[in-house]
A = this chain, B = another copy of it.
């Protein structure tokens, strides 16, 4: 009985990692579509989000089932409740990738990111992709060093988000309203990738160590 339950918990971890891999592909492809104006890739990201949503529903159902069947306590309970929450966070990351792709699609054949900001958004994209990759690896390996680097990339994303606003609000910005609106939303979406990555990283730290992060952040 215990053996089967252990296998089910392991499976839960694998499925979260699998979901995270799909999110990683979505973020990476959404970024490529955004920076290169690749319409087909943007559309592929939009379609692929359904698979992420459906994986979340599956994971959810399984978690609730395990709670009902196994009446877990202590670490087992924590693993399952954490899986529920991580699945919900990954689903949101998938939504954000879809939002980025939708802006690319709407802008086509124009690039959504105005030329003066393409460097900033390339950096944002690279940081978001790293967050997603490290989230996947963190879920696979439980290597907590990755949590630290996810936090660093989140800080970088916050800075780049600020940089975008500085550019938009500096006197030299000559973009159209459409460009200002798109850039504002895109920058917000990228900033949120970092927040969600950090949320997963902190939950994993808590799961492995039972400890809150130094800054006293609520990890639950």
Query: Does B53 lie within 8 Å of A67, measured CB to CB?
Result: no
What is the chain B residue whose CB lies nearest that of A67? B77
The 3 closest A-B pairs by CB, nearest first: A71-B71, A184-B184, A180-B180
* 8 Å CB contact of A84 from B53, B81, B185, B218: B81
Residue of B nearest to A69 (CB): B73
- By a beta-carbon cutoff of 8 Å, the part of chain A in contact with chain B is 53, 57, 60-61, 64, 67-68, 71-74, 77-78, 81, 84-85, 88, 165, 168-169, 173, 175, 177-178, 180-181, 184-185, 188, 218, 220
Q: Is the CB of A178 within 8 A of B169?
A: yes
Complex-state Cα separation, A57 to B181, whole angstroms: 35
Report the minimum CB–CB distance from A218 to chain B (whole Å): 5
Task: Tell me the complex Cα distance, A180–B71, Å.
Answer: 52
Q: Are B220 and A60 in contact (CB under 8 A)?
A: yes
CB-based contact B84/A64 at 8 Å:
no
